[in-house]
Amino acid sequence: MTTTSRLFQPMTLNGLTLANRIIIAPMCQYSATEGLAGDWHRMHLGKLGSNGAGLLIIEATGVSPEGRITPGCLGLWNDGQAEALRETIRATRTFGKTSFGIQLSHAGRKGSHDAPFNGGRRLPTGAGGWETPAPSAIAFQSSDANPPFAMSREDMDKVKDDFASAARRAVSIGIELIELHMAHGYLLHQFLSPLANQRTDSYGGTLENRMRFPLEVFRAVRENTPATLPVGIRISATDWVEGGWSESDTLALCRQLKTMGCDFFHVSSGGLSPDQKIPAAPGYQVAFAASVKKETGVPTIAVGLITEPAQAERILAEEDADLIAVGRRMLSEPHWPWRAAAELQGKIHVPAQYLRAVPGDQDIAIR
């Protein structure tokens, strides 16, 4: 049976061909010890990485200890972490057909926090926390007890090197795609937004200056990864705050990244300021993905309250995006891609052991 569903068409990003357009969004699990993937990741990634989605993007992974959001975040700043992650996903990669990408991240001023399920409080230095670097010494919340410190040129060079080293480690363990976290108020977004970046050197002030460091980091990662490996970014298209990072700034950044070999844009929003007013509703970020796709022609991922297969299909049919990322719904309904295949008459990879459970129609399954 052939399908006309767009969600179930393959998609090529640089040298990587995904079986379909379904992406499992990166989702922090706050369950690592010293940055090492362990039993929880084996269960979590094993479950989701065998559900037939085209791509799973592993959670925000710190490029250095101080680049983590919480002490429980995954890391790729040493070889032991790379080996633990390789071993954690080994079985899933044997039985599943989902490609594995990873999101490389530095939290900047949003680091040094407890996991949300432990209250999400800021951890003081010396009590499990650390000094947080940022473009400027401006705290996320004015109530933050220990504000970040403004990074020196040396600090910035180290972060750039850390991103490049983490990317090399990811490649060395067979990760097939790299996403740089430039969204949700983390370090690279902090450089972009005039609300967090008030530097007076060549990395602050004008839009061109604020984009400079994130672009340097992108270049370093691009240069340290094979030319055929897809490297892209996650971007917050707007801060949702008057005077903050805007949609037109996003388009300027994406135009520039396109010339530097950026293979995809994953379009999210917000996260930089506690003053944000997000009009959350089904598909509320899709319009941003559509403008990035239209402006650049680069493969674009839509995300945010996309929960129904028909909704995902419509976004692709209207050419508002090329790929669809699903976050929370993938946690509550880990076999969402099976349901999507059933509803859209798509073909999906199902491990042989589970074939008898495919809902209703064996024709949707491939082994």
Ligand X SMILES: Cc1cc2nc3c(=O)[nH]c(=O)nc-3n(C[C@H](O)[C@H](O)[C@H](O)COP(=O)(O)O)c2cc1C
Q: Which residues participate in catalysis according to the annotation?
A: 186
156 binds ligand X (CB under 6 A): no
Query: How many residues belong to the chain?
Result: 367
The amino acid sitting at 51 is N
Structure tokens at 192: 């972009």
Alpha-carbon distances, residue 306 vs 115, 309, 322 (angstroms): 25, 8, 14
Of 50, 268, 273, 300, the one binding ligand X by CB under 6 A: 268
Query: Which range binds ligand X by CB under 6 A, 196-204, 291-299, 325-333, 334-342?
Result: 325-333
Of 59, 66, 239, 322, the one binding ligand X by CB under 6 A: 59
SS3 content of the chain, % helix, strand, coil (to 5): 35, 15, 45
Which positions from 347 to 366 touch ligand X by CB under 6 A, shown as an x/- string?
--------------------
Task: Give how far the C-alpha of residue 52 lies from the chain's centroid of Cα atoms, to the nearest Å.
Answer: 19
**How far is Cα 195 from Cα 180, in angstroms, rounded to an integer?**
21
Give, as ranges, the residues between 82 and 141 that touch ligand X (CB under 6 A): 103
Buried b (16+ CB within 10 A) or exposed e, 250-286: bbebbebbbeeebbbbbbbbbbbbeebeeeeeebebb
237 binds ligand X (CB under 6 A): no
Give the closest residue to 164 by CA, choosing from 238, 215, 221: 221
| Closest distance of CB 326 from ligand X, Å | 5
The H-or-E segment that residue 187 falls in is helix 187-192
Q: Which is nearer to ligand X, 159 or 365 (CB)?
A: 159
6 binds ligand X (CB under 6 A): no
Beta strands 133-134 and 149-150: pairing type? parallel
CB nearest ligand X: which residue? 327
Q: Which is nearer to ligand X, 237 or 365 (CB)?
A: 237
50 binds ligand X (CB under 6 A): no
303 binds ligand X (CB under 6 A): yes
Query: Which range binds ligand X by CB under 6 A, 23-31, 149-157, 211-219, 246-254?
Result: 23-31
Return the C-alpha torsion angle 213, 217, 219, 225, nearest 10: 180
27 binds ligand X (CB under 6 A): yes
| Closest distance of CB 184 from ligand X, Å | 5
304 binds ligand X (CB under 6 A): yes
Q: Which is nearer to ligand X, 135 or 283 (CB)?
A: 283
Of 6, 68, 110, 181, the one binding ligand X by CB under 6 A: 181
Q: Which is nearer to ligand X, 286 or 365 (CB)?
A: 286
Structure tokens at 127: 């009590």
The residues that touch ligand X, with contacts defined as CB under 6 A, are 25-28, 59-60, 103, 181, 183-184, 234, 268, 303-306, 326-329
